[in-house]
Structure 1
Amino acid sequence: MDSLNPDHPPLIVTPVASRVWKFWGTSLWGILLFVAMFVGQIGAIVLLVVHRGLPLNLASMQLVGAEPEALALSVTMGLPATLGVAWLAIRIRKASFVDYLALHWPSWKQILLGAVGLIAVVLAWEVVSRSLGREATPGFMTDLLKSGRDRGAAVLLLLSFSVAAPMSEEVLARGFLYRGWSESFLRVPGAILLSSLVWTAVHIQYDLYFLAEVFSIGVWFGYMRYRANSLWLTIVLHALNNMTAVVLTMWLGS
């Protein structure tokens, strides 16, 4: 037998180390991603405050941060910070950035299915909002977007909310967090729910009603992320949702 023949030693299969962060690793790096996004956004406001020669305090940051142009820059600067930390975490695991985050382009059928499902979810919440006599868009967002339109910052807000925000939030939620958690004890269903909760927490400025709507949209995005194995799909869906909301609020809202 080969196993007893010194000229033919038995093959030893060395297990390949996992290149995916599991539950706790994903959770800790996820916190760092969230902090990076926050620091990038706040850092943009701080730079504007310093550039204008204002005192570096909370009042000055609130004053500058309320301006549509400053908010657009803040949202945009959260993207490179988020991508940088995600790249570092994936690099440490010696994995492919593209494969880890499932940056594969979906088919048109998958995009169509995702869009139809998103429309159904949004319309369902619209019906509920009307039946309860609620606004379909948070009041402070309506004021911000209309102010941006009037101040000539419409394009900046549209780009920040329709490009930068979807990319940074999807890399965090449906990209990094979903990937690691789906390969832990949570499996796919748990990863979809937990990543949706985290994404909902990013929108903590909303009230409970709108947070429930955000969570339901997040669950649909998570399902499509699983079904299509494509983060680009959820980025596109997220962008379409935000772009539609921005355009309707700015130019069609009463």
Structure 2
Amino acid sequence: MAMDPNALIQRDLKAVPGWAVVAFLTIMPLLVLPAAWLLRDRGMVVLLAAFFGSALLAIGLTMAPLGRQALPALALGRMAWRSILVGTIGALVVSFAVTRFGVEPQGVKEALDVARGPGFFLESLVVMAILAPLAEELVFRGLLYGWLAGRWGGSVAWLVSSLAFAAAHVEPAHAILVLPLGLWFGWLRRRFDSLWPSLVAHTANNGLAVVAATLLDV
């Protein structure tokens, strides 16, 4: 099976990718658990900000030893606007199709209810449309995809990272509903060998959901 090029495996085929994943899985709980405990009475938006902020910090600490290779390893190279446009339109189409099932997971409902509250729109928009997509894309389509692709190729990386992305949403209904988006984001990552299309598409999708729920009361 042909291997996809990835800077993570160019330096050390065996050690670096495994170390990166293990390091992230070790650092993440060490950051998020104390933050969650300290902020346990501060509300959902603050807790979500702490969670995704911890994920971003964990990624930064994990990738720092790679130096200049960190960004290429995470597929954060140049932007191609055509791929970003394709990715964003596709994500909105997939998201619209999924909403036709009429199922709103409890976690999504609670988060959007908070966003609808007075004074919480901007905070919710920052957390759900910027922090969440950035953290999730770096973890699932950046680190995890790059590690899997370096060992088993793009097809395995696409499928497994998409399933992991869905499973991370925990609630079964939510996991099932986000799986099509996860598959689309993973396809973008594989097709364009870049994280930018899925990152921008993910941001646009979440941002539109928050705006529609709060300003349009959809």
TM-score (norm 2): 0.82
Between the aligned partners of 2:158 and 2:33, the Cα distance in structure 1 is 28
1:78 aligned to 2:38? Answer: no
Match of 1:4 in 2: none
Go from structure 1 to structure 2 and tell me whether the alpha carbon gap of 1:251 and 1:142 turns closer, same or farther (over 3 Å shift).
Answer: farther
Query: What do the CA deviations read for 1:100-121 (whole angstroms, capped 9, x no partner)?
Result: 1111233221111112221221
Match for residue 188 of structure 2 among 217, 224, 234: 224
Name the residue aligned to 2:11.
19
Question: Are 2:162 and 2:182, in contact at CA under 8 Å, matched by a contact in 1?
Answer: yes
Q: What does the per-residue CA deviation read over 1:22-54, in whole Å, with 9 as the maximum and x for residues that have no partner?
A: 5x8645632542453444333323333xxxxxx
Q: For residue 93 of structure 2, what is the amino acid of its counterpart?
A: A
Moved over 6 A (4+): none
Q: Once superposed, what is the RMSD of the aligned Cα atoms?
A: 2.6
Matched, 1:68 2:34: no
Counterpart amino acid of residue 100 in structure 1: A
Question: Rg bigger for which structure?
Answer: 1
Instruction: Determine if the alignment matches structure 1 residue 157 to structure 2 residue 121.
Output: no
The answer to whether the 8 A contact 1:72-1:156 is kept is no
Which residue pairs with 1:203 in the alignment?
A: 169
Instruction: Give yes or no for contact 2:45–2:127 (8 Å, CA) kept in 1.
Output: no
8 A Cα contact 2:112 2:214, kept in partner: yes
Corresponding letter in the other structure for 2:75: A
How far apart are residue 125 of structure 1 and its match? 1.4
143-152 or 158-167: bigger deviation: 143-152
Gaps of 5+ in 2: 1-8
**What amino acid maps onto 1:106 in structure 2?**
M
What secondary structure does 1:103 align onto? coil
Q: Is the 8 A contact 1:33 1:85 kept in 2?
A: yes
The alpha-carbon deviation at position 77 of structure 1 amounts to 3.5
- In the alignment, what sits opposite 2:34? 43
Identity rate of aligned residues, in percent? 28
Q: 1:122 aligns with which of 92, 95, 111?
A: 95
Distance of aligned partners of 1:216 and 1:112 in 2 relative to their CA distance in 1, 3 Å threshold: same
Q: Secondary structure at the residue paired with 2:75?
A: coil
**8 A contact 1:79–1:165 mirrored in 2:** no
Structure 1 residue 183 corresponds to structure 2 residue 150? yes
Match of 1:100 among 62, 67, 73: 73
CA contact (8 A) 1:76 1:160 kept: no
Consecutive unaligned residues of structure 1, counting only runs of 5 or more, are 1-16, 49-60
Q: Label 1:20 to 1:113 Cα distance change in 2 as closer, same or farther (>3 A).
A: farther
Aligned CA distance change for structure 1 residues 74 and 195 (closer, same or farther; 3 Å): closer
**Counterpart for residue 3 of structure 1:** none
Give the Cα separation in 2 of the matches to 1:230 and 1:124. Answer: 25
The correspondence of residues 230-241 of structure 1 with structure 2, limited to 5 A, is: 230-241=194-205
Offset from partner CA, 1:162-204 (integer Å, 9 cap, x none): 11111111111111111121121x2111110011122122211
- Pair 1:173-2:140 in alignment: yes
